[in-house]
Amino acid sequence: MSQKAKIPESFFPSGSYPFVSMLLDSSDLDIRIVKSRTTKFADFKPPFKNNKLPVITINENLNPYVFLITFLHEFAHYLVWKDGKFYAKPHGRTWKNYFRELMQKVIEKEIFPKNLLPHLTDHIQNPRATSCTDTRLYKILSTFDTETKGVFIDEIPDGTFFHTQDGQLFYKEKKIRKRILCSNQKNKKKYLFSPIYKIFPITGKQFVIVFP
């Protein structure tokens, strides 16, 4: 799904779309809603090779509040690029100022539930590279999920086997900085998971592996 500076209103919380629409109308962007990715919620890419426009991709399975925060996160990257600050740090002072300003405007519009406001206010004082590295905030935001089940991968002990949402079998090895190192039991490759990715741990009685 790909449209220039257009995102269906249904992805956003009620009351937020006029502000989002204003941002999109003032931009020159390619917006792509993509399938869920284990390592990130979204990204921003400046024009390069076949991309004539800057591109923002966002995972399709985010709940409306996470989707809005994620969109503003990436739009702040676009503003940094648009202003020609090519050498600014990806999540440095310039980006933080843009993101904080965007978030403050949304908070003032009373888009978010009141129980989220203290956590959001705390988050934007020193925004991190992504909202999913602020695990306390994201776990509160995840209470608004309507579809995703399972448990957070950082809540199971090392040495646990688990299934991902698409049915793949993994083994949790250890935490490396802000990510969780896991090995795929079929292709033997290692992957880094976000600590708030939801998985389905396997108990001893459930543990039966059958490979072709």
Q: Check residue 104 and give its pLDDT.
A: 94
Enumerate the domain spans of the chain: 2-144, 151-206
User: CA 191 to CA 49: how far, in whole Å?
Assistant: 28
The 10s digit of each residue's pLDDT in 88-118 is: 667 888 899 999 999 999 999 999 999 899 8
pTM confidence score: 0.76
User: CA 44 to CA 209: how far, in whole Å?
Assistant: 39
pLDDT band at 210 (very low <50, low <70, confident <90, very high): very low
Q: Check residue 3 and give its pLDDT.
A: 44
At residue 56, φ and ψ (nearest 5 deg) are -115, 125
Q: Which residue has the higher pLDDT, 200 or 37?
A: 200
Statement: 151-206 belongs to CATH 2.30.30: yes
Q: Check residue 64 and give its pLDDT.
A: 95
Cα separations in angstroms, 6 against 9, 20, 23, 167: 9, 10, 10, 32
pLDDT band at 211 (very low <50, low <70, confident <90, very high): very low
pLDDT band at 191 (very low <50, low <70, confident <90, very high): very high
Cα separations in angstroms, 60 against 10, 93, 136, 202: 11, 29, 22, 27
Of 171, 119, 108, 166, the C-alpha closest to 141 is 119
